[in-house]
Amino acid sequence: MRDPHTDPYSDRIPLGYLITFRAYGTWLHGDGRGSIDRFHNQYGAPDIPRNERWRRYNERMMKLEPVKLNRIRRVAIYNAINETCELRKWRLHAANVRTNHVHVVVSTPRHPEIVLRALKANATRKMRQIGCWASTQTPWAQKGSKRWLWTDNQLQAAIAYVVDGQGIPL
């Protein structure tokens, strides 16, 4: 949450947000790709480095197998994102549902934590509704990334990243 006493942007609404959330168990702390936690979540801070022992510990603590987003799940998630944005009158600029994560660029005056929770909840609901997620557990990793987009250049770069920067279309 932004501090209105120290943050010069606290009274402004950004042009949009880049929201990213991962499927459960697909990118654990300690993984060689690096990761972020509450202690490594500042602009310019380095990612958590590879730590095989920590990764194995996190793997042992998992309650489910890693969740893969197959074609049926990806379609359900994409439809849920569209429905959520339409219902709440949020402007959806771009969405890309991959096999292990989801990127969304959206404009709304709502706080990005509310956006993240709504997208994850409605994606889960939609997958359960069509029968491709039966577990009572969430298919999502805890939390997610919420990048504030203040300028048109940032917004356009986020849209390009989501649309063109994710590899081959699935």
- Where is average pLDDT lowest: 27-31, 117-121, 144-148? 27-31
pLDDT in tens, 34-89: 666 666 556 566 677 777 786 787 777 778 888 999 999 999 999 999 999 999 99
The sheet carrying 16-22 orders its strands as: 91-97, 101-107, 16-22, 145-149
The answer to whether the predicted template modeling score (pTM) of the entire model surpasses 0.85 is no
Tell me the average pLDDT of the chain. Answer: 87
> Which sign does the torsion angle of CA 105, 109, 113, 119 carry?
negative
- Where is average pLDDT lowest: 57-71, 96-110, 113-127, 137-151? 57-71
Please give the domain boundaries of the chain with CATH numbers for all domains: 16-27+67-164 (3.30.70.1290)
